[in-house]
Amino acid sequence: MTDLFTPARFGALELPNRIVMSSLTRNRADAGNVPTPLMAEYYRQRASAGLILTEASPICAAGHGYPRTPGIHTPEQIAGWKQVTAAVHDAGGRIALQLWHVGRISHPDLQPGGALPVAPSAIRPAGQVFTGVGMQDYVTPRALETHELSGLVATYAQAAHDAMEAGFDGVEVHAGNGYLLDQFLRSSTNRRTDAYGGSQANRARLLLEVMAAVCEAVGSDRVGVRLSPVTTFNDLADDDPQGMFEYVVAQMNPLGLAFLDILQGTGGAPHEAWVPFDYARLRALYRGNLILNNGYDFASAQLALQGGEADAIAFGRLLLANPDLVERFRRGAPLNAPDYERLYTGEEKGYTDYPFLAG
C-alpha cells in the first residue's frame, strides 16, 4: 500500500519518499536578490524530503513584489542558486525551482525605475505591501498590452532554462496564490476583452502558453505547476472556480507534466473551514502525479495517500520547523514548533537553527 515512505517517479524525478517540501517565502536573499550560502544550508538541511520545491523565484525584475526574494534573472542569481542545488545534491536531495511573477501584488518602490506593477487588468488590490522600509497601499497596476504577452511567455521559458543552468532537477510554474498567472485566471482580476479575457478558455490561455513554452525549454518531465483553486489571498475571487480549474487541469493532461501541485483551502485555515470545492473531480480529471498541499499532518497525509487522493503530500510549516521531518515521521517523534516571529527575518534564527533529533 502506498504511503509517505513509498518511493515514486515523477517524470524524470526519482523520489525516495512522497514527503514534498512546499514552497515557502523566507526573505533571506542578499543584495540584488541573490541566493546566499545561508540559503544553501537551509535547503541542504531538508534534503531528505522526497522533493524540495523552493521559495518562489521571480523570473524578471518586474516580477518582484517583496524584499529579499531570490530571483532567477541575473548571472549573479544563477550563480547563487548553483550553491543551493550543489548543497542539496551533495546531501542526496532533489530540488525544483518555483517560477514566479507577482503581477499587481507589488509597488513602484519594488519595480525597476519606479514603474507601475503589471496585471491582466488595471484593478487595484485591497491591502498593503511591505516595501522594505514600511507598509504602502497597493497601487492600481498597468494592464499588460496584448503584444507584451508573448515576451512574458518567453521570459518564463528563459527562467526555466536558467534554472537548469543553476543545477535544478526541475521547475514549478507558480500559477496560484493570487499572483500574475492566477490573476489572469480569475474573473475578479481579469476584465480583458482580447483573446486573454472573457471566457474560461481565454483566461487560461496565458497559463497554457507559459506551460507549453516551459515544457519545450526544459522537457515536460521536469515541469510542474502550482494551482490554488479557492484561495482568497491577495484579494482574489472567481465566479466559478470549480468550472475554471476543472478546465485548466484537463488542459494539463496532454503536456505530460512531472506533477500537478494543488494548494487546497484558503490560507492556513483548518480543513473544516475550507471553502467548498470538489478536489476529487480534479483527481479524476488529471492523469498525472498529483501533490496535495495545506494543513496535513502525518495521519491525514497517510490517509490521503492510502485512499488514492494524491501521489504525494507537500508540507510547509512542518518542514520549516523540522528539517528532519522524514525521520521524525518514521520514528513517531515529537515535532518542533515553527518560530512565526522569524518567518521573514532573523537570518539564521528561525531558519537554520531548528534542532534535529538526537542520534
Q: Which three cell numbers, joined as nine digits, stand for 334?
A: 515529537
How far is residue 317's CA from residue 325's CA, in Å, rounded to a whole number? 11
CB neighbours of residue 133 within 10 Å: 8
- Least Cα distance to 268 among 338, 330, 185, 323 occurs for 338
Cell numbers for 250, please give them: 484537463
What ranges in 204-288 are assigned the alpha helix state H? 205-218, 241-252, 279-285
Is 247 a known active-site residue? Answer: no
- Name the nearest CA neighbour of 145 among 202, 110, 195: 195
SS3 at position 261: strand
**Residue 284, class by beta-carbon neighbours within 10 Å (0-12 exposed, 13-18 middle, 19+ buried)?**
exposed
The Cα–Cα gap between 50 and 13 comes to: 10
Q: Please say whether the beta carbons of 260 and 291 come within 8 A.
A: yes
Catalytic-labelled residue, pool 42, 43, 179, 286: 179
Cell of 47: 534534503
**Pairwise CA distance, residues 216 & 223, whole Å:** 10
Q: Which residues are catalytic?
A: 179
